Structure formats: C-alpha cells, structure tokens
Amino acid sequence: MAISTNPDRNPELVAEDISFAYLGASTAALRHASIAVSAGEVVLVTGLSGCGKSTLALALCGLIPSRVQGELRGQVTFGGRPLSGLPPHEASQLVGMVFQNPNLQLINQTVQSEVAFGPENLALPQPEIAARVDWCLDVTGMAAMRMASTITLSGGQKQRTAIAATLAMKPRILVLDEPLSDLDPVGAQEVLGTLRRLAGDEGTGVVIIEHRVDEVAPWADRVVLMDSGRMLLDCPPREAWADPVLWGRIGVGIPDMVRLAHALPDAFPGRLPLSVPEAASQVEETWLVPALAQAAAARVRATAPHPGNGVSPRESAHSPPVLSWQGVSVEFGANRAIDDVTLSIADGDWVAMIGANGSGKSTLTGLTVGLGTPSAGQVFFRGKPIRPGRVFEHAAQVALLLQAADEMLFEETVIGELKFGSKFRALPPNPVLTVDEAIEFFGFQGQEQMSPWELSQGGRQRLALGALLVGAPGVLVLDEPTTGQDAQRMREFLRLLEAVRERTGLTVVTVTHDIRGLASRAARVVLLGAGRVQLDGPASEVFAQTEELERWGVLAPPVARLQRELLGPSLTDVLLSVESLAAVARSYHGLPATQAASAGESVPGSRVGTP
Amino acid sequence: MMSSLFARTVISYLIVFAVPMMLPVAFFKLVGLGGLRELVTYEARDTPLHRLDPRLKVLYPIAMGILSIILNWDYMLIVFGLSVIPWFWLRPSRAKVRVLMVMVIGPALTGFWSQGLYYLPPPPIHFIYQFPWTISWLGSPGITAYGMVFGLQQSARVLVTVSTSMLVLVSTDVGDFTWAFERFRMPPQVGFAMTAALRFLPDMISRTMLVFRAVELRGYDLSRPRWFQVNKWPDYIRRVARCVVLITVPLLIGSLRGTSTMAMVADARGFGANKRRGSLRVHRTTAVDIAGYVVLVVLVVTAIILNHFRIGARPY
C-alpha cells in the first residue's frame, strides 16, 4: 500500500514498507506496512487485537530492533534520518512512546520526579530540566499534582503523567498504544484533551492506537486500519468509513454515528457525522426527529398503564432477592468508598454497575464474596449474611471473574483448570456445568491437555469463566470483562454471556465502563457515584438521563445522547442501539421493524449495509 | 498446685511459645500482606525532614548504626532516644505508625524473649522461672533476667538501625536517593535499582494479594482458623505453603511481562545514556543541613573518642 500523507504537511516520521517477525515466530507481525506522520497531525490506528498495531508502534519509536529482537525489513526514518539504528534515548527525542499500562511506565515515586527522569538522564542543565518539567506538567494538566505520589493517582492521572514523562524528552511525534483502555469516560476525556492541546497548540504529531474509535474519531486527521500485519486503509476518517463493509468483514468497530448515517442515509444526506453534535445538527430538520418522537410517545403509552413499569427495580422486584446490600458502607481510612448503599438483585436479573473510576463498583461487588469488610450494614445472599473474609465459602455461591482473568489460572492444562475447584472441595450435586459440558460449551474440545498460556487472551478469559461455572454459583459477577478488547472480541464475549444466561439462567452482575456494549444490553443499570447509588433502573431509562450520567463521570451511549439532543430533556426512555433506531425508521416508513432490529440491516435506500 | 509438675509444664510451655505464637497473630491482625506496602511507601509531604539534604539522610542511618555498634547499653539508651525524636518531627500517618510498630517491635521482642531463654549467664544462674524436665529438653533450662537484658540491648541496637532507615525511606523520594548516591560518586545503576525496587515493591505486594484472592475465588480454602483452634493451624499452614507454589507461575509471568516494558521505558527515557546525570533538584545547603552534619560528626567522633578511652565502650 502506498504511503498516504497530508498534502498540506511535510511528513516527519516515515515508515516505508516495513515487515517484522519476532524472534522465533513463524509468521510476521508486520507485513509491508507504510505510514507517514507530520507535525501536528493526529492519526488513529485501529484493528483487531494481534493485528500488529503495537508492533507498528514499537517500530515507529525505534525500539525495534534495538530492544525487541526479530527480523526487520524496510526502514523507519525521521526527517530522512534512519530511526531504526538509533539508540533508544536518541530515538525517543524524536518519537516518544506511551505504553498501554501506565503502571509499568511510572518508575519514580512522585509525578515531578517521573517527568524529570528523562531530562536528568540526558544530563541537561538544571534550568532546562525545570523548564521542561513545568511545561510538560502544564500541557498535561498535572501541574497541581506535581508532588503527588504516583501510586495514589487515578488511571487518567497516571496516563497523563506517563504522557508528560514522554513529552519531557521533547519528541516531535508521540505514539500512544491504547491510552484509553483502562480509563473511565472522564479519564479518557482528560487524556484526549491533553492530546488535542498537544497536536493543536504545540504541533506535536500524535499516533493513537485505539479500539475506542467513537471517542477519537471526531478529531483524527487520518484513520489507519490494520489486519494481519498489513495496512488496509490510510485516509481521512470520512473516507475511511465511507464503505463500512470492509470494517464489518474484519470485525473492527466503527463509530456509532457513522453506522447510523449508513443505516439511515435519508436522514444523513450530508457528509458522514463523526460525533453526536455533528449528527444532531444534520438530522434536526429531518423526518428522523418526528419518527423518534413518535416512537418515544408510543413507548410511553405502552408502559404507562402498568404501574410497575418505569419505577426503580428495587421497588418493583417481586421475586426474592438473590443478592442484597442493606445500608452498606465501606471505609478505607478517612475515605468512604461506599456510603449507605441499599440495593437488591432478583434471581435471573442482568445488572450492570457503572460509574467513574473510584466510584465504588468493584468494592460493592467484592463484598458479595466476602472481599472487604463493611463498616456498616450487611450483604446477603439469598437472605443469608455474607461473612467478610470467608471468600472460599462464598465463592461457591457467587462466582466472581476478575478483570485480570490471567491471574485466576494456576494449572498446567486446560482440563486441570476446569477440575481445579473440585480438588479442594466436594463437587456440588447440581453444578451449573460439568467439566465435560464446560469443555463443549466453551469450545475447548481437543485443547484439554494444552497449557492455558497457549490459549489466546480471549481463550484464557473463557477458561477462567468456564472454571468458575464448574460449580454451583447462584450469581455470576464480572469485573470489567471487556476492558481493552476489540469490537469483535467484545461481541464474542457478549454472545458468550447471552449463551451462558440462556443455558444456566444465572443472575449476572457486570461491573463495566463499556457503556455501548455491555451496559446497554443489561436489563438493569445501577449508576454509582461517590459511593452511593445515583441512578437505578432499566438501561433505556438510566441512559436517557445524560446530564446526570455526565455529572457522575459517565457518558451515555452515542445513540442515547443523540436522542436527548434531538428530543430534549423531557425524554425519559431512549433506544440504545443503532439497530433499534433503524427499526424506528422502518416503522415510520411503514416497513416491518423487526428485520432491522434483529439483523442490524439498514433501511431502504441506505448507502451500504452496517457492519 | 502451681508447683506441681503439670502446672509448671503448662506455664513453661506458655512462656516458651507465647511470644512466637503472638507475633504472627499480631502481624495478620494489625498489618497483613497489604500493610507491608506501607513499610516502603514514601509519604510525599512538606516537612523539615523531607527538605533535608538527601546526603545527610543517607549518612544518618550509617552514623547511628556505627554508634549502636560501638557503644555500651547505657549510652545506647541515649542513642535510641535520639533516633526516636525525628519521628515526632515527621508525624507519619496512623496506618504507617501501626505497621512500623509491629514490624519493628515484633522482631525486637523476639530477640529479647529468645535471649532470655537461651542466653545464659555463668553459674550460679538466677532464673526468673526455671523449667521442669518436661520442657528443658528443648534446650532452655529457664528464663533469666540476664539473658533478657542482653536481648534487650541487642534488640535496641537493631531497633536504632531499623528505625533510622525507615525514617529515611518514608521521608525521602527515591529520586533524592539517586541524587545523593551520585554525589557520593556511586554508579547511577545503584540509585536506579533502589528506585525500581522501592517503586515496584508495593505493586508486587498488591499483585500477590490479588492472586491470593483469585485462588480463593477459584475454590481454594485459605480461611484462617481462630487463634484457639490449635488443631487447625497445621492444616492452614500446609494449605498456605501449597498455595504459594500455585501462585508462583501467575506471579512470575505477570512480573516478567512488566519488567520488559519497564526496561524499554527506562531505555527510552535515556537511562544510562550519560555517565553523569543532571538533576531537577537544587539542594542549597541550609543552616539545618549544616547543623545536622555537625551533630552527626560530633556524635560519631565523640563516640569513637569515648570508646578509645573505654568510656561507654562495649565490654569486648
């Protein structure tokens, strides 16, 4: 593929026809990849996990081949000068890299020391070091926290500190490998705001490798799509997403507003919208607004006669709760992480707990297996109190899948993992799945004797989930199960979760930042903020309250925000997917709504089918 | 009744095993694995101690260590008192004080107790409590005041060094350590190794705790028996030992993954690119620093002079 560049700009960083295979690997991670980046330009690189994005980042920063062994062909140059052969400290003054996990990048104990570390290593004079530190902290918005200890920072603050520390080397181009993956929407906006300032005001070229395209799309100058080490597309965003078929075939996500425009071309006659405000301004005078208003009114009419509907599920639930928190508070020193929470979850429910980082979601769900001790109140499982610290006991009732599923694997083989629990306690008479059923259900046939570490990351997550279900838990609690995953893997996980629910009828509680995917599909959403339940209701009602959600650091799905922008604050119930909006459009035009809703197809006259 | 062989045996066993059994309980109740993080966590604050010249802070535990080696017990008391004073100046958090108390006093108490049992004076020996034959076969004929005093002296010497080192760790950013080491002409790798160790040790402890949680969530019983369920403790210890083997693989894999990224970050930030490093810090020597140096020098020199004249010197 030919190198795509912005004609108005002179590219500084150029990778030309590079291929790379890791030492000992049978296949190449990069195949004839070419890219050029200019000063002040923002390039979004996306693709499935394992498609070579991170390898490309390492190559662009000159860490390949100097620090990552393998065979490199082709050349990376900066201003015409080969970058590949430079020592890392010289290359990093031209192209800086921010790795995915900020915890592993913060070597020092305070923010200021971290930022000063690079310039100190370069033996710069003290005034120059001080000037760089001040500038980096200002531009990343961390000046007020310069003396803070790095281990006390939030995810967003850690990532901004890592960016500041990389900027202190004064690179002309900044490459960021999934900088938003662990961040809540607020943290993500903090980081994106910083990058916007850098590109716009300081003229720094920015390459962002990211799955969360919705958030980056509005201000990317170019979008690069990668698959199996190759670059399939490298063009401006609207051009890149003009034909979503390719994206759908590979399984890479595209922004919701783009999908909507493709599904409803009559409503979006102009250029492709990349953000909610853009989409709203395009459709505010079209038939879509009365169509949405009509559908909303119909939903209100349909729900009004039933007194239970629209009321918080905690009030309307008739079945006895499987889990309940009664006036629970949890304190860590002077900090009250959970503040007088009363909540109950009925048998068979699917509940999503959402909230900003530090809002208390994981603390609250951890209590259900005895992790942590309430300073007040009590947690119950089927009416029986959960005793703090008795994790072994309660794990038999509540299966908790940690975000770091890899940390939950201890055996040498897949079959060993599935049998792990039965080694230490008697097999329950009525397991959710037997070992054989789990092998079949999770697709491990023929892999029984494989090491768990030979499985893909998704495979290891499935294995950890399967191992938990080879028991008799009444509830499945999932802590951020889709964090850092690409669109395809998210979809696979959602399908798997649906299948587990269908097969087992388990109550599912998910702690998640994945508002578009996981939270939108849950029957009930609980918003936590400042350790309290701020909103609790059906997903369609909770996500209609966009201002309240934003107040607590959560962004509603783009589709929901669009409806609120178009129909105003009186809207109390929103549609949560592009498919349901397309169905409304079908219905408005007198076509059967179910087709679009079920198959995600577009209405007649659409540009192309949605991916 | 109390002088019967049975009663004396029970009392003797209590004396011998009370302290060793109490310490793990105190550790789990008051500190726990998570509490260990507090031990090496720098508290970023603005106190006079934080502002002291880092070189002075590096020299401080060394100087106090020298004093604790060469002085006898009477003088050691003074040194011990001096080493406690800066803690009041620092005002550490309550959580840190609790951890420090357990981690410092615990081993000291063990030394004091074990010397009382096993460090015997020349005959005739005056026992505080003499053990009957039913326990003396363990190697200790009884507990002596002589041994306990000796144990107290040894423990105090350890306490002085540990307390001063902890004080410095808690009040000094590792970047300052690196700076001080460089000024002492030590290779920057020494400072970096210390930086990395102190920065990532709390993370390592957190990960270990996470994996312990994960193993329990997978159905492994790590529930601790109550202190009086003596018959259950051996099984608990066996389960914990087996668990350590289980968690080693995920811990190692996680750590190795992290170290390669960290090495690349250090390289990219130019670590090792130059023999000398620059410094953001400008340490202008203040009157307090000078006073500190003077105090340290006076203390060490005085101790050496006194030692030369056999005043306050240890008897061997």
Rounded to the nearest 10°, the torsion over CA B251, B254, B255, B257 is 160
Contacts of A125 in chain B (CB under 8 A): 278
* Whole-number pLDDT of residue A230: 94
Closest residue of chain B to A426, computed from CA coordinates: B219
Residue B91 buriedness (CB in 10 A; 0-12 / 13-18 / 19+): exposed
Chain B within 8 Å of A406 (Cβ-Cβ)?
yes
The whole-angstrom distance between B245's CA and the closest CA on chain A is: 9
Residue A51 has pLDDT above 70, yes or no: yes
CA dist A598 and B200 (Å) reads 49
* Whole-number pLDDT of residue A257: 94
**pLDDT digit string (tens) for A555-608?**
899 999 999 999 998 888 999 989 888 888 888 877 655 444 333 334 433 443
* Whole-number pLDDT of residue A310: 39
Q: Is residue B32 part of a domain?
A: yes
Q: What whole-number percentage of chain B has pLDDT above 70?
A: 97
* Whole-number pLDDT of residue A607: 43
Domain boundaries, chain A: 11-240, 243-270+577-611, 350-361+390-567
Contacts of B203 in chain A (CB under 8 A): 103, 151
Residue pair B145/B128 in contact (Cβ under 8 Å)? The answer is yes
Q: What whole-number percentage of chain A has pLDDT above 70?
A: 92
Contacts of B267 in chain A (CB under 8 A): 63, 66-67, 88-89
**pLDDT digit string (tens) for B60-96?**
999 988 888 888 877 887 888 888 888 888 888 777 7
Question: What is the residue whose two structure tokens read 């081949």?
Answer: A65
In sequence order, the 6+-apart residues with CB closer than 8 A to the CB of A118 are A92, A165, A166, A168, A169, B269, B270
Cα–Cα separations (whole angstroms), residue A442 to A306, A399, A470, A492, A508: 40, 17, 12, 11, 18
Chain B within 8 Å of A105 (Cβ-Cβ)?
yes
* Whole-number pLDDT of residue A611: 32
Chain B within 8 Å of A400 (Cβ-Cβ)?
yes
Q: Is residue B303 part of a domain?
A: yes
Task: Name the band, by pLDDT with cuts 50, 70 and 90, for residue A277.
Answer: very high
- What's the per-residue H, E or C state across A445-507? CCCCCCCHHHCCHHHHHHHHHHHHHCCCCCEEEEECCCCCCCHHHHHHHHHHHHHHHHHHCCE
Most confident of A184-193, A380-389, A469-478, B268-277: A380-389
State the best of B216, B248, B283 to mutate against chain A, taking most chain A CBs within 10 Å.
B216
CA dist A189 and A206 (Å) reads 16
**pLDDT digit string (tens) for B166-190?**
888 888 877 788 888 888 888 877 8
* Whole-number pLDDT of residue B255: 76
Task: Name the band, by pLDDT with cuts 50, 70 and 90, for residue A8.
Answer: low
Q: Cα A574–A281–A292 angle (5° rounding)?
A: 30
Strand, coil or helix: what is B10? helix
The 10 Å Cβ neighbour count of residue A215 is 20
User: B219–A165: do the CB atoms touch at under 8 Å?
Assistant: no
Phi and psi for A518 in degrees, rounded to 5? -65, -50
* Whole-number pLDDT of residue A272: 92
Residue B221 has pLDDT above 90, yes or no: no
Residue pair A600/A579 in contact (Cβ under 8 Å)? The answer is yes
Chain B within 8 Å of A57 (Cβ-Cβ)?
no
For residue A51, give the DSSP letter. Answer: S
Residue pair B288/A136 in contact (Cβ under 8 Å)? The answer is no
B103 versus B117: which is more confidently predicted? Answer: B117
The residue-averaged pLDDT of B296-308 equals 89
List the domain range (segments joined by +) for residue B234. Answer: 5-308
With CA atoms as reference, report the closest residue to A62 among A38, A94, A32: A94
Residue pair A260/A557 in contact (Cβ under 8 Å)? The answer is no
ipTM entry: 0.75
With CA atoms as reference, report the closest residue to A183 among A267, A302, A101: A101
State the best of B41, B206, B239, B265 to mutate against chain A, taking most chain A CBs within 10 Å.
B265
Question: What is the residue whose two structure tokens read 């181009």?
Answer: A173
Q: Per the CATH hierarchy, to which homologous superfamily does domain A350-361+390-567 belong?
A: P-loop containing nucleotide triphosphate hydrolases (3.40.50.300)
Residue pair A566/A292 in contact (Cβ under 8 Å)? The answer is yes
* Whole-number pLDDT of residue B316: 57
- What's the per-residue H, E or C state across B214-277? HHHHCCCCCCCCCCCCHHHHHHHHHHHHHHHHHHHHHHHHHHHHHHHHHHHHHHHCCCCCCCCC
C-alpha A38: how far from its chain's center?
28
State the best of A95, A104, A135 to mutate against chain B, taking most chain B CBs within 10 Å.
A104
Chain A within 8 Å of B233 (Cβ-Cβ)?
no
State the best of A120, A136, A422 to mutate against chain B, taking most chain B CBs within 10 Å.
A120
User: B220–A122: do the CB atoms touch at under 8 Å?
Assistant: no
Task: Name the band, by pLDDT with cuts 50, 70 and 90, for residue A313.
Answer: very low
Closest residue of chain A to B93, computed from CA coordinates: A333
CA dist A221 and A213 (Å) reads 13
A254 versus A311: which is more confidently predicted? Answer: A254
A313 versus B260: which is more confidently predicted? Answer: B260
Chain A within 8 Å of B182 (Cβ-Cβ)?
no
CA dist A308 and B9 (Å) reads 72
Segment among A140-144, A310-314, A502-506, B44-48 with least mean pLDDT: A310-314
Chain A within 8 Å of B42 (Cβ-Cβ)?
yes
State the best of B280, B281, B283, B284 to mutate against chain A, taking most chain A CBs within 10 Å.
B280
Residue of B196, B220, B276 with shortest CB distance to A123: B276
Share the mean pLDDT of chain B. 83
* Residue A139, CB-side half-sphere exposure with 13 Å CA sphere: 25
The whole-angstrom distance between A136's CA and the closest CA on chain B is: 14
Residue of A88, A103, A147 with shortest CB distance to B267: A88
**pLDDT digit string (tens) for A398-428?**
999 988 788 888 888 999 999 988 887 767 7
CA dist A317 and A347 (Å) reads 10
Residue pair A207/A27 in contact (Cβ under 8 Å)? The answer is no
**pLDDT digit string (tens) for B251-295?**
887 777 778 888 888 888 888 878 788 888 888 888 999 999 999
* Whole-number pLDDT of residue A458: 77
Segment among A487-496, A588-597, B8-17, B51-60 with least mean pLDDT: A588-597
User: A395–B268: do the CB atoms touch at under 8 Å?
Assistant: no
In sequence order, the 6+-apart residues with CB closer than 8 A to the CB of A347 are A319, A320, A321, A322, A474, A507
Share the mean pLDDT of chain A. 85
The residue-averaged pLDDT of A317-340 equals 85
* Residue numbers of B between 237 and 266 with CB closer than 8 Å to A: 246-247, 249-250, 253-254, 258, 261-266
Q: What whole-number percentage of chain B has pLDDT above 90?
A: 5
Cα–Cα separations (whole angstroms), residue B164 to A158, B48, B78, B156, B293: 31, 16, 14, 12, 15
DSSP A401-419: E-S-GGGG--SSSHHHHHH
Residue A288 has pLDDT above 60, yes or no: yes
DSSP A173-192: EEEEESTTTT--HHHHHHHH
Task: Name the band, by pLDDT with cuts 50, 70 and 90, for residue A315.
Answer: very low
Residue A209 has pLDDT above 90, yes or no: yes
Contacts of A105 in chain B (CB under 8 A): 261-262, 265
Residue of A97, A169, A391 with shortest CB distance to B270: A169
Chain B within 8 Å of A147 (Cβ-Cβ)?
yes
User: B219–A471: do the CB atoms touch at under 8 Å?
Assistant: yes
* Whole-number pLDDT of residue A608: 38
In sequence order, the 6+-apart residues with CB closer than 8 A to the CB of B55 are B180, B183, B184
* Whole-number pLDDT of residue B2: 67
Q: If you count residue pairs, one on A and one on B, with CB atoms under 8 Å apart, how many are there?
A: 193
Strand, coil or helix: what is A389? coil
Give me the number of domains chain B comprises. 1
User: A107–B262: do the CB atoms touch at under 8 Å?
Assistant: yes
Contacts of B217 in chain A (CB under 8 A): 369, 391, 395, 399-400, 402, 408, 468
* Whole-number pLDDT of residue B173: 79
**Check whether domain A11-240 has CATH 3.40.50.300, yes or no:** yes
The residue-averaged pLDDT of B52-62 equals 91
Closest residue of chain A to B197, computed from CA coordinates: A107
Q: Is residue B314 part of a domain?
A: no
CA dist A408 and A453 (Å) reads 12
Beta-sheet strands, E only, within A182-309:
205-209, 222-227, 230-235
